[in-house]
Amino acid sequence: MPGTVIIGSQWGDEGKGKVTDFYGETADLVVRYQGGNNAGHTVVVGDRKMKFHLLPSGIMRAKHVFIGAGVVIDPRVLKKELENLEKIGKEVHLTIDPRAHIIFPWHNLEDGAQENEHGGEKIGTTGRGIGPAYADKCYRTGIRFEDLINEKRLKQKVEKVYPFKKKLLEKTFGVKIKETADEIFNQYNELGKEFLQYVGDVSLEVNEALDSGKNVMFEGAQGTFLDNDFGTYPYVTSSHPISGGVATGVGMAINKISRIIGIVKAYTTRVGEGPFPTELTGRVGDDLREKGQEYGTTTGRPRRVGWLDIPLLRTSMRLNGFTEIALTKLDVLSGFEKLKVAISYSHSGKTFDYFPYSMRSVEKAQVQYREFEGFTLSGKEKKFKDLPKSAQNYIKFIEEKMGVPIKLVSLGPERSQTILVD
Ligand code: IMP
């Protein structure tokens, strides 16, 4: 059975955790392919709210979860998340690819120091060391999971990298690294011993599972416009959240994926800096933020909020090839008298119905909106036809503009607050 991918179509925080959990029930395997603990997925199961940053959120349902080569792993965070699962008696079947790169304390310090260097032009990273860990991978000086679980290799690598990082941090950024090389080695070596049980060739195992007809789900983190190449560079993350990232992040061929679910939040949000054409900065924006509880799962930062953006979504469709859409947080729009949706941008006499490649155009663009009647939900809607007509129109408009069916509408964090559209 070919694999299913879950992708954030906007700037992340679209509610992928809930959708992965929803579909994860039927998945044999759930696989993460990029990012690290910059992600924040919330899954509500009964009265229990679980937050995941590094482990795939599908862990609550799937039989077996995988962390692919394209992920960067902070073992200190992995330990905490595994302990939290142990506390609730959840059995974990986890496999980690030996090729995945490891986040060390110097990466966290570099992340913060780089941001300070940017002065007024910060990226607004999560501060989790993600960018520096990926940079070391590209420099070919990174330390991988296969090194973490091998005492001798870990010692050699830490001894080699530490003096360089210390010099860089102290001399360039004036930042002191408080741990000694031995302290870091000892801490990471302990973690490596603990995690040895999880090592396995994720590329091989996932390909075998796909070939033998297993149901495999690939769980994206962040969102399309945080993609390092196709997002709003430089205000992006350092990995590839788009669907093409699955092949390189896991080690598999693109023709093994047949279902690509785009998660579209019914409005738009982004955390951190960077262009955001439909951003709402006044009272409507504040109301949306409060109703949608738009505060970062990882950093607690208030998210920037704005109207739904069709040019952005059409571009997302082009970059990802969605085969269906899951529309989330429609309930948050309930009670607004009027809703707006961006339908095009214009700049220098040109009109765009897609997201321009030039960030200058995006920043300077005028946005053309279409207004929709608002709607009020009762909370009892179980089927598409139970939704108010104006909500149905809003959904159909998105479907028509994206050219792909909306198969799921989420009206709240609970599994029961989900409408499957025939
Ligand atoms: P980094 O991934 O920590 O380097 O942060 C780079 C940019 O991506 C910042 O704007 C972050 O706020 C954003 N970002 C990273 N992870 C997430 C996420 O899971 N959801 C939303 N934004 C994110």
pLDDT digit string (tens) for 352-380? 999 999 888 888 999 999 999 999 999 99
Which numbered atom of ligand 1 lies nearest the CA of 35? Answer: 2
Say what the pLDDT of residue 46 is. Answer: 73
13 is catalytic: yes
Residue 402 has pLDDT above 80, yes or no: yes
Say what the pLDDT of residue 2 is. Answer: 78
CA-CA distance, 416 to 413, in Å (whole number)?
8
Cα-to-centroid distance, 407 and ligand 1 (Å) = 27
> What percent of the chain is helix, strand and coil (3-state, nearest 5)?
40, 20, 40
CA-CA distance, 255 to 159, in Å (whole number)?
42
Average pLDDT over residues 187-213: 98
Lowest mean pLDDT among 49-53, 185-189, 334-338, 339-343: 49-53
Q: CA separation (Å) from 201 to 68, 152, 283? A: 9, 21, 51
Q: Which of 223, 37, 49, 231 is nearest to 130 (CA)?
A: 37
Using omega within 30 degrees of 0 as the cis cutoff, is the peptide bond preceding 234 cis?
Answer: yes
Q: Give, as one character, the DSSP assignment of residue 375.
A: -
Average pLDDT over residues 193-211: 98
Average pLDDT over residues 307-317: 98
pLDDT tier, 26 (very low <50, low <70, confident <90, very high otherwise): confident
Place of tokens 């179980």: 382
pTM of the model: 0.96
Q: Select the more confidently predicted residue: 230 or 121.
A: 230
Average pLDDT over residues 282-291: 95
- The predicted-structure confidence for 239-271, as pLDDT tens digits, reads as follows 999 999 999 999 999 999 999 999 999 999 999
Residue 304: beta bridge partners? Answer: 270
Instruction: Please check whether residue 344 is in contact with residue 278, taking contact to mean a CB–CB distance below 8 angstroms.
Output: no
Instruction: Please check whether residue 373 is in contact with residue 333, taking contact to mean a CB–CB distance below 8 angstroms.
Output: no
Mutate to test the pocket of ligand 1, among 222, 239, 273, 303 (most ligand atoms within 8 A of CB): 222
Average pLDDT, the chain: 95
Cα-to-centroid distance, 217 and ligand 1 (Å) = 22
Domain architecture of the chain: domains with CATH = 3-87+201-420 (3.90.170.10), 101-143+150-197 (1.10.300.10)
Mutate to test the pocket of ligand 1, among 51, 53, 237, 328 (most ligand atoms within 8 A of CB): 237
Q: CA separation (Å) from 388 to 180, 292, 332? A: 62, 20, 14
- The predicted-structure confidence for 143-185, as pLDDT tens digits, reads as follows 999 999 999 999 999 999 999 999 999 999 999 999 999 999 9
Say what the pLDDT of residue 333 is. Answer: 97
136 is catalytic: no
Say what the pLDDT of residue 222 is. Answer: 96
CA-CA distance, 340 to 360, in Å (whole number)?
24
Phi-psi region of 129 (alpha: psi -120 to 50; beta: other; left: phi over 0): left
Instruction: Please check whether residue 209 is in contact with residue 29, taking contact to mean a CB–CB distance below 8 angstroms.
Output: yes
Tokens of 36: 């690290």
Say what the pLDDT of residue 161 is. Answer: 98
Residue 411 has pLDDT above 80, yes or no: yes
Tokens of 99: 């090729």
Q: CA separation (Å) from 15 to 12, 44, 246, 333, 369? A: 8, 11, 19, 15, 25
Instruction: Please check whether residue 338 is in contact with residue 372, taking contact to mean a CB–CB distance below 8 angstroms.
Output: yes
pLDDT tier, 43 (very low <50, low <70, confident <90, very high otherwise): confident
Percent of the chain with pLDDT over 70: 100
Instruction: Please check whether residue 303 is in contact with residue 295, taking contact to mean a CB–CB distance below 8 angstroms.
Output: yes
Average pLDDT over residues 115-143: 93
Q: CA separation (Å) from 75 to 54, 104, 125, 149, 343? A: 9, 9, 20, 11, 44
